[in-house]
Chain A
Amino acid sequence: MFTSLGRYILLLRLSFRKPEKFSVYWAEIMREMVSVGIGSLGIVAIISVFIGAVATIQTAFQLISNLIPKTVVGQITRDSTILEFSPTITALVLAGRVGSSIASQIGTMRVTEQIDALEIMGVNAPGYLISPKIISGITMIPVLVIISVFLGLTGGYIACAASHDVSTADYIAGLKDGFNPVAATVCAVKATTFGFIITSICAYQGFYTAGGALEVGQAATRGVVYSCVMILFADLVISRLLL
């Protein structure tokens, strides 16, 4: 375990060496940002709307009491979406979509000697392959999470309009009521951290793949599993420290 941790830290250090040519790296960062951001928008939008809707319906179901104002449903949906559902569930889904893609892409490059070809040319392979992915992860995943928050709250609104458990006016009043900006800070910290975890762990698993197609698949699976575990662990740590 300590050997792997050491290799992971050394790989990260190599990844952020001075680039051979900034313009080439910049183009690669832009390409990765499109791949991570635009490429994941569809799945993030779908899960966010449904999660927001389900969160609203279930909260409304549990708060059947005349003593509790209906606006509380909006408040709880807002806070749970911002603090937990959007960053964590989006990150878990992205670990599957983005993380497996990173691990299998780099792993395939390793077993087909493309990484060796880069090194022979004098290119810092970790820098060229991994740093653009990490940069795109820590920039685009927070953007996706922000979009997810808005879509989740929209999903809650649609659920209210469709089910009439809570009126849309009460729901919107709840969304506006007693918002604590710390929740947004926690959401941003989580999203950035999760972006780093997904891209760096999966890139590490891919980079040290040895063997053939079977091992590439195993590396991708390991990358996703380790990323998910680390996301949940980081979720706990950040929540404990910041709330």
Chain B
Amino acid sequence: MIEVKDIVKTFGDNHVLNGISATFKAGKNNLIIGSSGSGKTTLLKCIVGLHDPTTGDVFYDAENFTDMDFEQRVPIRKQIGMLFQNSALFDSMTVEKNIIFPLNLFTNMSAAEKRDRANFCLQRVNLVGTNNLYPSELSGGMKKRVGIARAISMQPKYLFVDEPNSGLDPKTAILIDELINEITEDFKTTTVIVTHDMNSVMGIGDHIIFLHNGEKWWEGTNHEIAHTDNAELNSFVFASPFMKAAREKL
């Protein structure tokens, strides 16, 4: 479980996050949604430690992550897997080397064990046989799946996903969502997903936090979101005529 308490983040005079508190549950897909510039990615970066909050705290299973220095954070970071918006695969390494990179640094596994682990992760994301390809030889969807394979190589307890569906066709986007959902269930990870894709919200949103102007505006599940009377949330979720029509049928 991950807990954030009163997170405030400012960049100069720009107040991006204004006192956000939330709990992200273990074994669930926790979605952070909101319009562009609402502070979703900044909140995610504060949670994983890429940004230090101006004030407020982040707790990983009751351990205060914000107060820790680099060395103290390493044991928690080893339990974190993250899929970046653009996958952030290491260009100079093959798919297999990308996946075993954290194993090389943090485990004493033999070469054969690492190769087996890489093959298992690739099998898990349906990319068997791509071991020796470079990221430049992969499609956008394949890069996302390799990113997921790398994220799960260390068997993470916490999985963070930033805009998993950006730049993907709807069919591939749904496949990625299903994959993330399966991993969350299989590995019992605390999964935090930043998205503004409504298919993801309705499909895998076990727990949803809606940010508006850097504040938590609404919290609930994908079943509750369809029936909320929160004006800002409704104008965000049901912005298109198609979604408005779909809501009326619900």
User: Is chain B found bound to chain A in the same assembly?
Assistant: yes
A residues near B (Cβ < 8 Å) are: 20-21, 24, 108-109, 112-114, 116-117, 119-124
Q: How far is the CA of A99 from the CA of B49 in the complex (A)?
A: 30
Take A112-B86, A113-B84 as given contacts and tell me if A120 and B48 are in contact as well, using a CB distance cutoff of 8 Å.
Answer: yes
Chain A residues, CB < 8 A from B104: 21, 24
Chain A residues, CB < 8 A from B90: 109, 114, 117
Q: Answer whether residue B80 sits at the interface, using C-beta atoms and an 8 A cutoff.
A: yes
Chain A residues, CB < 8 A from B154: 121
Q: Are B102 and A116 in contact, CB atoms less than 8 angstroms apart?
A: no
A113 CB to closest chain B CB (Å) equals 4
Chain B residues, CB < 8 A from A124: 70
Chain A residues, CB < 8 A from B86: 112-113
Contact of B77 among A108, A112, A114, A121 (CB under 8 A): A121
A sample of 12 more A-B contacts (CB under 8 A), given A116-B84, A119-B49, is A20-B106, A24-B104, A113-B86, A114-B91, A116-B50, A117-B82, A117-B84, A119-B77, A120-B48, A120-B49, A121-B77, A121-B154
Q: How far is the CA of A229 from the CA of B73 in the complex (A)?
A: 39
Contact of A122 among B73, B84, B88 (CB under 8 A): B73
Interface size, B (range): 20 to 34
Q: Are A123 and B88 in contact, CB atoms less than 8 angstroms apart?
A: no
Chain B residues, CB < 8 A from A116: 50, 84, 88
Chain A residues, CB < 8 A from B73: 122
Chain A residues, CB < 8 A from B88: 112-114, 116-117
Q: How far is the CA of A117 from the CA of B45 in the complex (A)?
A: 11
Chain B residues, CB < 8 A from A21: 104-106
Chain B residues, CB < 8 A from A109: 90-91
Q: Are A122 and B74 in contact, CB atoms less than 8 angstroms apart?
A: yes
Take A112-B86, A113-B85, A114-B90 as given contacts and tell me if A120 and B105 are in contact as well, using a CB distance cutoff of 8 Å.
Answer: no
B221 CB to closest chain A CB (Å) equals 28
0/1 interface trace, chain B 82-118, chain A, CB 8 Å (1 if under): 1011101111000000000110111000000000000
Contact of B80 among A20, A24, A112, A120 (CB under 8 A): A120
Q: Answer whether residue B188 sits at the interface, using C-beta atoms and an 8 A cutoff.
A: no
Chain B residues, CB < 8 A from A117: 82, 84, 88, 90
Q: How far is the CA of A112 from the CA of B160 in the complex (A)?
A: 17
Closest 4 CB pairs of A and B: A122-B77, A113-B88, A117-B88, A122-B74
Chain A residues, CB < 8 A from B102: 121, 123
Q: How far is the CA of A220 from the CA of B101 in the complex (A)?
A: 27
- Which residues of chain B from 23 to 66 have a CB within 8 Å of any chain A CB? 48-50
B48 CB to closest chain A CB (Å) equals 6
Q: How far is the CA of A84 from the CA of B171 in the complex (A)?
A: 63
Residue of B nearest to A123 (CB): B105
Q: How far is the CA of A116 from the CA of B86 in the complex (A)?
A: 12
